[in-house]
Amino acid sequence: MGMTMSEKILARHAGVPAVKAGDILTCQVDVAACHDMFFTVAGQIDFEKVNKIADPDKCVVLLDHAVPAPTAKDAHGAVKARAFVKKHGIKNFYDVGEHGVIHQLLVEKGFAAPGRLIAAGDSHTCAAGAMNAAARGFGPAEMMYVWCKGETWYQVSPTILYRLHGKFASQAVTGKDLFLYIAGVYGDATNMNVEFGGEGVGNMTIPQRQSVATMCAEINAEFAIFPCDDLLRDFLKERGDQTIDAVDPDPDAVYHDVRDIDLGKLTPYVALPHYIPKNCCPVTDVEGTEIHQVLVGSCSNGRLEDIALAASIVKGKRVAKNVRFIVTPASQKVYLEALKAGYLETLVEAGAVVTNATCGACYGGHMGLLGPGERCLSTTTRNFKARMGDVDSEVLLCAPATAAASALTGKITDPREFLGG
Amino acid sequence: MKIKGRVWVFGDEINTDLIFPHSAFRVSPEEQIKLVFSDNRPGWSSLVEKGDILIAGKNFGTGSSRPGAVLLRRLGLACMVADSINGLFYRNSISYGFPALQCPGVSSMFEEGDMAEIDMLEGTVTNLRTGETLKGSGLSQSMADIIAAGGIEELLIKEGYMDK
Ligand code: SF4
């Protein structure tokens, strides 16, 4: 019986020839990463009492949610993080100045790579699946377990295969729209893996795949994995990877369901408040809805091409008076590249606020929270009640083109009017 | 692992940000538990009594890696059952020694205040008022062992990775 990509990676890391859905395995983990909230939030795990970790070189620690520290508590968390990496000899530490949102940094720094089994203390860890890795989030206690023992348990889940065909019909339609369409039409994938295939994958940029894989956390997917194709191989070579240990699905792999999607038929999509599965619609259904803030950023859509697209839409125009347009790059690297390319200048000239690279307002942390009665159209990952501020605020989710076009008009707007298609 | 208790009923898509809101990030563990469900059900945390059971609908615990399970345990809840549970929340519930069970259909079987009897290993849930019973997916023995040990931190202490 053939195996899916998820099954092959789990089998490889459990040291067994084959696995199937339902099996419970103990697997060696390749990379285990935690961000600042692991150290800042009390009552999660007594990390100061840990005296031995398995392999410091497999550990990554970084600051992303609250950088530079917006509160003294956050600053204290960072102090503890620095002490922890020093005590345990963890060299892969990314402090303020080298920082970036965890899922972007794991890709930029080469930790997320094909065939790897990756653990991180954050729910959107499935993002690394865009690199052909099996990655999932763990809570703080289990992250500590992985750091101490180098391994943990996995249950092999059934897999849904999305076969993608064709290519996006407009520049205004991107990976986030594909995800919101999937979540809106098919709903959740709770206790399932999601894998992507079909020739349409080759027509999606790497950042678009990262956006989709990231967002699969919102349909409760376990792993979300893209195949390793020529485009990814080129990306990895440019990154400097010496070896590429990709996994392909077997032709006779067993899937829970196979679903075909024609990328060419997709249109800009929006998720309504306060959850995503079966709660999304074409942007045309909510066009004209008044908004108070627009946010482009996060591990879903804070990458260079997202910022470039937003800049191209607002170039030479002005953000509407009733709207705050906030742009938060996903990492220092993205920030610098956007700066050099002139995108940040274009955005600021149009009236946008460009912030430091951070999780920022995405999790309701800092730099762009909402007051009562306010509505934000955002490219971030979550639209939960009170996620971005006041309990009486609302978040709708979209792709960068829809966000930028809506920033210009001050209401939810179909970006195709601005980009054609 | 058999548990009997009074039931609280919640709906679908109860996410981690409701269980463990951002407002609980920078306060003490004692303060954290008062904030559970403060955005969707203000005042609820003070009504919970030791041994109560939480019943919910689809995708309970969807969202973040923040360990909502540990707050529910510290609040005094004995266990929870939902139609379906997010995989990360489920792992957290095991890691933090808080029994959780997936049992499709359970949310429509209870009214708030009913008494429930749950067998965590068998995966059976009974409404003691109506007599109705449903069977979900019980805990595996290895997961039940982690819970019985008091969660992962206790295991790491026992194995010498952490000081007491
Ligand atoms: S950008 Fe948002 S979703 Fe991504 S890791 Fe940060 S808080 Fe989480």
- Measured in Å, residue B140 CA sits from the centre of ligand 1 at 32
Do residues A252 and A387 both lie within one domain? no
User: Are A136 and A258 in a shared domain?
Assistant: yes
> Which among A52, A384, A395 is the top mutation candidate for probing chain B, defined by the most B β-carbons within 10 Å of its own β-carbon?
A384
The answer for residues whose C-beta is within 8 angstroms of residue A112's C-beta and 6 or more apart is A31, A103, A106, A118, A127, A128, A130, A131, A133, A135
Q: Name the residue in chain A with its Cα closest to that of B66.
A: A139
Q: Is residue A418 part of a domain?
A: no
The DSSP element (H or E) to which A143 belongs, if any, is helix A140-149
Q: Do A145 and B25 touch (CB under 8 A)?
A: no
A182 and A278 in contact (C-beta within 8 Å)?
no
Distance of CA A193 to the CA centre of its chain: 16
* Average pLDDT of the segment spanning A150-162: 98
Helix axes B87-95, B68-75, angle to 10 degrees: 50
Kindly give the distance from the C-alpha atom of residue A363 to the centroid of ligand 1, in angstroms, as a whole number. Answer: 6
Answer whether B88 sits within 8 Å of A139, measured CB to CB. yes
**Separation of alpha carbons B45 and A216, rounded Å:** 31
Residues A232 and A145 in one domain: yes
Instruction: Return the residue whose CA atom lies nearest to atom 3 of ligand 1.
Output: A381
Amino acid symbol at B162: M
A27 and chain B in contact, CB less than 8 A: no
> What are the pLDDT digits (tens) for A304-313?
999 999 999 9
Q: How confident is the model at residue B16 (pLDDT cuts 50, 70, 90)?
A: very high
Closest CB to A364: pick one of B22, B65, B88: B22
User: Which of A218, A246, A263 corresponds to the end of one domain?
Assistant: A263
pLDDT at A420: 61
* ipTM for the complex shown: 0.97
Residue A94 domain-assigned (yes or no): yes
Is residue A421 one of the residues assigned to a domain?
A: no
Could you say which of A203, A237, A263 is where a domain stops? A263
Query: Per the domain annotation, does A141 fall within a domain?
Result: yes
Work out the average pLDDT over A110-132.
98
Q: Give the residue from chain B lying closest to A44, CA to CA.
A: B67
- Residue A230: what are its φ and ψ, rounded to 5°? -60, -40
Q: What percent of chain B has pLDDT over 90?
A: 99
The helix/strand count (H/E) of chain A reads as 14, 18
C-beta separation of A242 from A114 below 8 A: no
Same-domain check for residues A32 and A104: yes
Distance from CA of A348 to the nearest CA of B (A): 30
Q: B91, A138: Cβ pair inside 8 Å?
A: yes
Determine, yes or no, domain membership for A300: yes
pLDDT at site B147: 96
Would the CB atoms of B26 and A188 count as touching at under 8 Å?
no
A61 and A186 housed in the same domain? yes
**Cβ contact A3:A250 at 8 Å:** yes
The answer to whether the peptide bond before residue A68 is cis (omega within 30 degrees of 0) is yes
Q: For residue range A204-249, list pLDDT tens digits in order.
A: 999 999 999 999 999 999 999 999 999 999 999 999 999 999 999 9
Residues with CB under 6 A from ligand 1: A 65, 101-103, 122, 124, 298-299, 359, 362-363, 380-381
Question: Which of A142, A385, A386 minimises the CB distance to B91?
Answer: A142
Residue A233 inside a domain? The answer is: yes
Cβ separation A382–B65 shorter than 8 A: no
Are residues A219 and A276 part of one domain? no
Structural domain that includes position A37: 5-263
Which structure tokens are listed for B42? 């203000």
Averaged over A40-58, what is the pLDDT? Answer: 97
pLDDT at B1: 86
Residues 6+ apart with CB under 8 A from A48: A80, A84
Within this chain, do residues A242 and A355 fall inside the same structural domain, yes or no? no
Q: What is the pLDDT of residues A356-379, one digit of tens each?
A: 999 999 999 999 999 999 999 999
What pTM did the predictor assign?
Answer: 0.98
Cα(A70) to ligand 1 centroid in Å equals 16
Both A250 and A278 in one domain: the answer is no
Residue-wise pLDDT tens digits, B63-91: 999 999 999 999 999 999 999 999 999 99
- Residue A420 inside a domain? The answer is no
**Residue A408 belongs to a domain:** yes
DSSP string spanning chain B? Answer: -EEEEEEEE--S--BHHHHS-GGGTTS-HHHHHHTTTTTTSTTGGGT--TT-EEEE-TTBTBS-SS-HHHHHHHHT--EEEES-B-HHHHHHHHHTT--EEE-TTGGGS--TT-EEEEETTTTEEEETTT--EEE-BPPPHHHHHHHHHTSHHHHHHHTTSB--
Confidence band of A1 (pLDDT split at 50, 70, 90) = confident
The yes-or-no verdict on residue A421 having pLDDT over 70 is no
Considering the domain architecture, whether residues A87 and A57 belong to the same structural domain is answered as: yes
Inter-chain contact A220–B39, Cβ cutoff 8 Å?
no
What's the mean per-residue pLDDT of chain A? 97
Q: What is the pLDDT of residue A87?
A: 98
| Residue ending a domain, choose from A212, A238, A263 | A263
Smallest Cα–Cα separation from A296: which of A315, A311, A279, A282?
A311
State how many domains chain A has.
2
The whole-number average pLDDT for the span B39-45 is 97
* CA A362 to ligand 1 center in whole angstroms: 6
Same structural domain, A36 and A151 = yes
Q: What is the pLDDT of residues A61-88, one digit of tens each?
A: 999 999 999 999 999 999 999 999 999 9
Q: Is residue A321 located within the same domain as residue A174?
A: no
From B96, which residue of chain A is nearest by alpha-carbon distance? Answer: A141
Check which CATH number belongs to the domain holding A299 and give it.
3.30.499.10
Q: Assess whether A150 and A238 both reside in one domain.
A: yes
Is A71 at the interface with chain B, CB within 8 A? yes
Chain B neighbours among A 113-142 (CB < 8 Å)?
Answer: 121-123, 136-142
